[in-house]
Amino acid sequence: MNIVDIILILLIAAALTGAVIKIVTDRKKGKSCGCGDCSRCSACDKTNRKVR
Amino acid sequence: MPLLKDMRPGESARVTKVNGTGALRQHFLDMGMIPGTEVTVVKLAPMGDPMELRLHGYELTLRVADAGEIEVSRISEKKEPIRAKVTRSKTDHPGLGEGGRFHAKGDGDPLPDGTVMRFALVGNQNSGKTTLFNRLTGARQHVGNFPGVTVDRKDGAIKGYPDTIITDLPGIYSMSPYSSEEIVSRSFVLDEKPHAVINIVDSTNIERNMYLTMQLLEMDIPMVVALNMMDELTSNGGGIDINIMEQRLGVPVVPISAAKNEGVDELVEHAVHIAHYRERPVEQDFCGKNINGGAVHRCIHGIRHLIEDHAEKAGIPLRFAASKVIEGDELVISALGLDENERDAIEHIVLQMEKESGLDRSAAIADMRYRFIMELCGAAVTKPTESREHLRSRRIDKLLTGKFTAVPMFILIMGLISWLTFGVIGAWLQDLLASGIDRLTALVDEALTDAEVNDVLHGLIVDGIFTGVGSVLSFLPVIITLFFFLSMLEDSGYIARVAFFMDKMLRRIGLSGRSIVPMLIGFGCSVPAVMSTRTLSSERDRRMTILLTPFMSCTAKMPIYSFFVEAFFPDIGWLIIIGLYLLGIILGLLAAVLYKGVLFRGEPVPFVMELPNYRLPGAGNVVRLMWEKAKDFLQRAFSVILVATVLIWFLKNFDLHMTLTADPEKSILAAIAGIFSPVMQPIGLGDWRILVSLITGFMAKESVVSSFGVLFPDSASMAALTSLTVVCMLVFSLLYTPCVAAIAAIKRELGVKWAAAVAVWQCAVAWLAALLVHAIGMMIGAG
């Protein structure tokens, strides 16, 4: 395993960790349902939170 | 006595009596359909029902059967309003809501310093509340040009005033709520007791808008009236004498244009002033001593005295309580806790009023309010003959809602949108992006080879991440293009017209025309579609519409369609995609017939809706919506889809002993998915790789494509799939359970049982439809 492998593994691990954290926190807080229509819909409280 | 339903287009009549009962009748009265009102039939919808009427300077649509409840007397010759030059004597500015020389109220009882002032933004539907809210707070809430865009409250602080909270509420026509989102607004004003109300009034449609103002004044809450769209009124030669308006209403009146950000600063100053100094409306007595011999006036004042102690105890404004008691509002009556003698006394007073005025209780109250409004508008408002916007709308409507042109134009518009999205603009941009992603993948592949990166890691990056995420990313332009067109439909005002001419057709399957709005939004995304059903006034229609939204192909399903048709049917790709959209609609219609017969017996709600003028969609609004969609899509690609892709790659490349395997058939994924394969075997989707792709679609539909890309990495592996299998896959993807976000939205609206039922039911429908397609395919030898 060379240095490039190690760097790539670390990068992938960081990306995956970030993605998982985002999914979990978003769902936990009800921050975003992922529909992409936050300005129109109040299904989640993302908008309220942001505006407040 | 002739009925409104017997009138022909172009004929005018005066309303003599409004029959019927309950909420619908009250809604008619609130919308200005009261005895004495002049009504002109503009047109009938292409299928002869509903009808479009013009009254109080705006367009209202209602069903012919409901128009049968309204008695009229024909007007042989309709008098066109004469635009006479009105000369008014100069009226002093009353100076309400500011520290001027007439500052007479609120001096002694300001709010304690540091109090967070709460404001409610209240007004009719489509009067520009959210546009104003965005101006006031700097928020970017979605605005549209059809009644009922906002379905829930939204809060924010006014810019430059951190100690304030302003709440944008769904539009209401009166304080007698008609649909579930209207209840949100009434409850907010009544129960949460904001420090002040900003009542936004569409000045181009002032009579009907002021009806709500009258009721808000009765609430005895500090209030400022914002006359919105003044730019439109004045540019068409109209005008409003603000001083007269302010003097008669007894609250500050500020002309504004929320869209152009004119007058908003002044509005804020007045609103903050009245809230801080608790300046309540000066005048509430609009009942007119001499109208109908003073019958209504004496009735209201008599009842005020009778219920004064109850209203104080219940915390309901006295004048508002008196009006509501007369109208027979059960919620208010029970909140007051009147005893039997008091109820009897009130009933006698009301009966006497009905006898003297010649009007029933609800009509008498509505008549009292509209009389005041007409008198006020006569004194303060100079109306333009016909606004340019209305003239333009009439011309466009000749084509878009014409008897013989409405449905063909609708089909043409939808066809054009599909063609431009899937065949021209979106497809071209998608090809461009896909070739860019391919080039980048090749570069990375080359770089990894040069760097002698470990084979497993190389495979994960190129065959896993780049193939999976990249395959989804390339569909971004198509989704954005479709959203662009959907947003244009919403913002232009066309969507309300579609509801108008589709009503009769939808009624046959047990729905009202208004259900078309959530369904059209459903082509974008099911979550806001489910939320937008709140504008429907009956629970039955709401449930039924929610159950139908999964049949509409949301944009997240588009990558699935595009991916497969490009690979298997490149020459007739966009035709197949349109076919899938149509299949969803047709099966939705069949499901509606089934729901109507089994789950939701009964009649759909009456169709009463205002038709707004067409407006040019705001570029900022459209761009903002597209940007939001793009941003969220990218976020999803690099979160849910990235994780799913890596997970699928891992499970596909390792066996149950956690050792790397070159044969995917021995992988963990094959072992798990193989258990469920027999269920999908009859519909031709028994391959475990297909099953895995479909399962990942529950998290986000786009994941089907990324997982598929990982599981079928090259054209050789895809060659194992027949055309029939792909068609079955497409049909199943079209219909099976909505994604987790949509199911969560359904759970919020209807409860956990309904949400679970929808997920299971949609899977069953998808399975049956795919089985049918598979069976037909096998019969004709397509397998």
Q: Give Cα B511 to chain centroid, integer Å.
A: 16
CA distances from A2 to A6, A8, A13, B443, B448 (A): 7, 10, 17, 20, 12
Q: What is the pLDDT of residue B108?
A: 59
* pLDDT tens readout for residues B538-595: 788 889 999 999 999 988 898 899 889 988 888 888 788 889 999 999 999 999 999 9
Q: How many residues does chain B have?
A: 783
Question: How many Cβ atoms sit within 10 Å of the Cβ of residue B647?
Answer: 16
Query: Is the CB of B643 less than 8 angstroms away from the CB of A20?
Result: yes
The predicted-structure confidence for B691-748, as pLDDT tens digits, reads as follows 989 988 887 888 899 888 888 887 777 887 899 999 999 999 999 999 888 888 888 8
Residues of A in contact with B487 (CB under 8 A): none
Q: Contact, B662 vs B711, CB < 8 A?
A: no
Q: Who among A20, A34, A43 is closest to B748 (CB)?
A: A43
- Please say whether the beta carbons of B562 and B482 come within 8 A: no
Give the angle B615-B56-B97 at the CA atoms, nearest 5°.
Answer: 80
C-alpha to C-alpha distance for B707 and B701, rounded to whole angstroms: 10
- For residue B495, the model assigns a pLDDT of 86
Per-residue model confidence as pLDDT tens digits over B518-545: 888 888 888 888 877 877 777 888 899 9
B308-326 in b/e form (b: 16+ CB < 10 A) is eebbeeeebbbbbbbbbbb
Residue B424 scores a pLDDT above 90: no
What integer is the mean pLDDT of B314-336? 89
Six-digit token pair at B761? 């039911």
Can you tell me the mean pLDDT for B221-236?
91
Bridge-based pairing of strands B164-168 and B117-123 is: parallel
Residue A12 near residue B461, CB atoms below 8 Å? yes
Q: Is the peptide bond before B50 cis (omega within 30 degrees of 0)?
A: yes
Q: Which residues of A touch B744 (CB under 8 A)?
A: 33, 43
Max mean pLDDT among B45-59, B340-354, B476-490 falls in B340-354
Nearest C-alpha neighbor of B536 from the set B512, B559, B557: B512
Instruction: Please report residues of B whose CB lies closer than 8 A to that of A50.
Output: 139
Partner-chain residue, chosen from B451, B454, B527, that has the shortest CB–CB distance to A35: B527
Query: How far is it, in rounded angstroms, from Cα B19 to Cα B668?
Result: 70
For an interface test with B, the pick among A3, A23, A40, A45 (most B C-beta atoms closer than 10 Å) comes out as A40
Question: Who wins on pLDDT, B80 or B350?
Answer: B350
Flag if B528 and A40 touch (Cβ within 8 Å): yes
Q: Nearest-CA distance from A1 to chain B in Å? A: 7
Does the structure show a pLDDT above 80 at A26? no
Residue A49: predicted pLDDT: 36
CATH 3.40.50.300 residue ranges in chain B? Answer: 117-277
Closest CA to B401 of B552, B521, B513, B233: B513
Token pair 């006497």 is found at: B352
CA angle, B11 then B19 then B5, to 5°: 30
Pairwise CB contact (< 8 Å): A43 & B524: no
Report CB contact under 8 Å: B156, A51. yes
Dig out the tokens for B111 from the structure: 């709010």
The verdict on a CB contact (< 8 Å) between B452 and A2 is yes
Q: Is A48 a residue whose pLDDT tops 70?
A: no
What does the alpha-carbon distance between residue B195 and residue B279 come to, in Å, rounded to a whole number?
10
Q: Is the pLDDT of residue B102 over 50?
A: no
Contact B744 A33 (CB under 8 A): yes
Torsion of CA B17, B23, B28, B29, to 10 degrees: 70
Alpha carbon distance B55, B38 (integer Å): 6
Q: Residue B462 half-sphere exposure, CB side, CA atoms within 13 Å?
A: 21
- Average pLDDT of B7-24? 88
Q: Could you give the CA distance from residue B747 to residue B753 in angstroms, rounded to a whole number?
A: 8
Query: B425 or B584: which carries more pLDDT confidence?
Result: B584
State the pLDDT at residue B710: 87
Closest-CA residue in chain A for B629?
Answer: A36
Tokens 């809430």 found at: B141
Residues of chain A contacting B475 with CB distance shorter than 8 Å: none
The radius of gyration of chain A from alpha carbons, rounded to an integer in Å, stands at 16
CB B405 within 8 A of CB B321: no
Tell me: pLDDT of B103 over 80: no
Cα–Cα dist B283/B274, whole Å: 15
Residue B603 to residue B47: CA distance in whole angstroms: 19
Q: How many helices (H) and strands (E) does chain A have?
A: 2, 0
CB atoms within 10 A of CB B65: 14
Among A2-11, B67-76, B147-156, B754-763, which stretch is predicted with the lowest mean pLDDT? B147-156
| Structure confidence by residue, pLDDT tens digits, B463-506 | 889 888 888 888 888 888 888 888 888 788 898 899 899 888 88
Interface touch A37/B524, C-beta < 8 Å: yes
What fold, for B117-277?
Rossmann fold (3.40.50)
User: Alpha-carbon distance B682 to B679, whole Å?
Assistant: 7
Give the best residue of B480, B527, B624 to mutate against chain A (max A CB count within 10 A): B527
Report chain A residues whose CB lies below 8 A from the CB of B531.
41-43
CA angle B243, B218, B170 (to 5 degrees): 90
Residue of B nearest to A22 (CA): B639
Average model confidence (pLDDT) across chain B: 86
Region B508-515 average pLDDT: 86
Task: Read off the pLDDT band of A45 (50, 70, 90).
Answer: very low
Option in B461, B525, B748 nearest A36 (CB): B525
Scored b (16 or more CB within 10 A) or e, A17-35 reads eebeebbeebbeeebbbbb
Confidence of residue B661 (pLDDT cuts 50, 70, 90): confident
| Of B373 and A42, the one with more pLDDT | B373
User: What's the distance, CA B476 to chain centroid?
Assistant: 25
Residues carrying CATH 2.30.30.90, chain B: 4-80
H-run or E-run covering B289: none
- Cα separation, B100 vs B731, in Å, equals 70
Q: Which residues contact B547 (CB under 8 A, 6 or more apart)?
A: B591, B595, B599, B758
B506-512 average pLDDT score: 86
Tokens of B241: 């004498």
Query: Distance between CA B775 and CA B783 in Å, rounded?
Result: 9
Q: Who contacts B584 (Cβ-Cβ below 8 Å, separation ≥6)?
A: B551, B552, B553, B734, B735
Residue B80 has pLDDT above 60, yes or no: no
Residue B675 pLDDT class (50, 70, 90 cuts):
confident
Cα–Cα distances in angstroms (integers) from residue B80 to residues B84, B122, B385, in the given order = 12, 32, 9
The listed range with the strongest mean pLDDT (A47-51, B347-351, B400-404, B423-427) is: B347-351
If pLDDT is split at 50, 70 and 90, which confidence band does B149 have? low
The pLDDT tens digits of the residues spanning B237-262 come to 888 999 899 888 989 999 999 988 89
CATH of domain B291-382: 1.10.287.1770
**C-alpha closest to that of B524 among B622, B447, B432:** B622
Please tell me the predicted confidence (pLDDT) of residue B83: 47
Q: How many residues does chain A have?
A: 52
- B452 and A15 within 8 Å at the Cβ level: the answer is no
Give the C-alpha separation, B120 to B111, whole Å.
17
Better-scored residue on pLDDT, B384 or B547: B547
What is the reported pLDDT for A51?
Answer: 34
B174/B171 Cα distance (integer angstroms): 9
**B515 class by beta-carbon count within 10 Å (0-12 exposed, 13-18 middle, 19+ buried):** buried
Q: Is the pLDDT of residue A30 over 80?
A: no
In degrees, rounded to 5, the angle at the alpha carbon of residue B680 between the alpha carbons of residues B674 and B682 is: 125
Q: CATH fold of B4-80, please?
A: SH3 type barrels. (2.30.30)
How far is B605 from chain A, CA to nearest CA, in Å? 24
Burial class (CB in 10 A: 0-12, 13-18, 19+), B704: buried
Cross-chain CB nearest to A1 (options B157, B454, B527)? B454
Contact B527 A37 (CB under 8 A): yes
**A39 → closest Cβ in B141, B151, B460:** B141
pLDDT average, residue stretch B209-224 = 91
| CB-CB neighbors (< 8 A) of B530 in chain A | 43
Name the DSSP letter for residue B514: G
